[in-house]
Structure 1
Amino acid sequence: MGNFIKIGIIGDFESERPSHKATNEALNHCADYLRINLELQWLPTELLERDTDKSISKFDGLWCAPGVYKSMKGALNAIQFAREKDYPFIGTCAGFQHTVIEYARNKLGLNDAQHAEYDPHASNLIITALSCSLVGETRKIFINKNSRIYKFYNKTEVEERFSCNFGLNPNYRKLIDENGFKVVGTDEKGEVRILELPQNKFFIATLFQPQLSSLSTDPHKLILAYLACTKEFQLLLPGLMRLKATKPSSY
């Protein structure tokens, strides 16, 4: 089965949180399906506030988990690393929400972009309460046929499970999409449910949680695609590191 694939899970693990248990279980049974040896490590967000590159560059992929983070700064640092260094990345539920904030702050220059759950009175709320709670809900999602994620599902309509109360503020949808973070999945009301960076190897944010519906007998296609990409990335990484080490200085 080859070497271990190392996945760093951005989040503060809670053993009794169903989404956290589901994240571990889904990654493991999807890895078994692909005959991949997998090593998982949860990365507490407070430890990602400094020396982030050193903490996470050893991983082959990063997953931003659902839940409440002790440090938004730490989570955003890790997401920025994955985006800029082009590491395989997926953010689900709260991971989706924080991926949007990271992009808004560090790519679009909206330094005060904020999450309503952290600061409901902030002047630039890019993540706001959903019109209807999606906790425990299963909903249809319509996928753009020209997207990368369509290649994983090979369907334009799927059903996914949610467990969230917050999503992208609709007023920012056009700004996000037109500046590269493409809206590729929407619900029946046209609200954003999936975003992807098409130029990256694998950089996807979903408001739903694929780990909640993945089964050992029916592993989720998105998680399988993510792990397949991390395996490819692992093979490329030594060469990339050597290239970086031998690259001449520009000074």
Structure 2
Amino acid sequence: MTTTRTARVALVGDRSAHVRSHTRIPGLLEVLREQHGLALDAYWIPSEEVDEASLAGFDGIWLIPGSPYRSESGALAAVRAAREYRIAFLGTCGGFQHLMLEVARDLAGLADVVHAESDPDGGPQLIVPLVCSLVGHEGAVRLRRGSLAERIFGVERSVERYHCAYGLDPAYLPALEAHGLRFTGHDDDGAVRVAELEGHPFMLGTLFQPELAGDGSRVHAVIRAFAEAAVAVGAARETSPA
């Protein structure tokens, strides 16, 4: 019999029955429990209700798709909480984009950069419209050998599903890399698709949406790895001195 391991996870985003990834996630949580013995006690938290201090008590934070978020500051607070409290973090699609935005503003000192979708007339655009929209598309992702992403996938190339029209302006790659982001997945043309934060136990962002993989009867390796990382955080909390 599989031993069930548990973790408290915040699903940060503006839940909607019209967003396919949101309707997929509850079923994937059941698959994690039934097939892998990973029980995620999940709390859906709307972006405008994020309280950074209260997130410190969670073992994992998944910043889910559905941008523009009703509260950009709430989405960024979720990223910051995961980074500062060393909580397992997964950001998919919009979550990936806001991982980039938080690191740029809070670590790289690029306080004026914006997301073009939520602030098209604002300052310098870190997150920009893709030359070719990936809404409803699949595409190859090549994973850097030896990276966390490559270890999770177990292969150096995969085909993933997207529902996205915005991505990182590559002009900012050097600044973000200088402050700990590692870009470990790219499409066949070299555009960034996966990022991970150096020195963090598990902080991963994907422009693609692993929650859309397959028919929902199996869990994507990225989601399983996130769940395992959250369980590890929870176990560490239980064994650490008060």
**2:108 aligns to what?**
108
Q: Superposition pairs for residues 214-225 of structure 1, below 5 Å?
A: 214-215=214-215, 217-225=217-225
Q: Does 1:199 align with 2:199?
A: yes
Residue 58 (str. 1) matches residue 61 (str. 2)? no
> Within 2, Cα distance between the matches of 1:178 and 1:206?
20
What runs of 5+ residues in structure 2 fail to find an aligned partner? none
Instruction: Using the TM superposition, give the Cα deviation of residue 230 of structure 1 relative to its aligned residue in structure 2, in angstroms.
Output: 1.1
Letter in 2 for 1:205: G
Structure 2 residue matching 1:136: 3-state secondary structure: coil
Q: Which residue of 2 aligns with 1:234?
A: 234
Alignment of 1:12-27 (within 5 A): 12-27=14-29
Is the 1:194–1:207 contact (alpha carbons within 8 Å) kept by the matching residues of 2?
yes
Partner of 1:35: 37
Deviations 1:21-73 (A, max 9, x none): 1233223312322112222111111111xx4212x122210000000311001
Q: Could you tell me how far apart the structure 2 residues matched to 1:88 and 1:241 are? A: 20
> 1:183 and 1:127 mapped to 2: Cα distance?
15
Contact 1:197 1:203 in 2 (8 A): yes
Deviations 1:89-114 (A, max 9, x none): 00000000111101101011111111
Q: TM-score, normalised by structure 1?
A: 0.90
- Residue pairs, 1:131-146, within 5 angstroms: 131-146=131-146
CA distance in 2, matches of 1:71, 1:112: 17
- Is the 8 Å Cα contact of residues 93 and 209 (structure 1) preserved in structure 2? yes
Unpaired runs of 5+ in structure 1?
A: 243-251
Task: Give the percent of matched residue pairs that are identical in Structure 1 and Structure 2.
Answer: 32
Q: Which moved more, 1:196-205 or 1:157-166?
A: 196-205
Q: Distance in 2 between matches of 1:204 and 1:3?
A: 21
RMSD of aligned alpha carbons = 1.6
SS at match of 1:73: helix
Code of the residue aligned with 1:92 in structure 2: it is: T
Q: How many residues align?
A: 239
Local SS of the residue matching 1:12: coil
Deviation at 1:121? 2.2
Q: Cα 1:115–1:241, aligned 2, differ >3 Å: closer, same or farther?
A: farther
Deviation at 1:195, TM superposition (A): 0.2
Deviation at 1:216, TM superposition (A): 5.3
By how many angstroms is 1:214 displaced? 4.9
The answer to whether residue 60 in structure 2 is matched with residue 75 in structure 1 is: no
In structure 1, the partner of 2:189 is 189
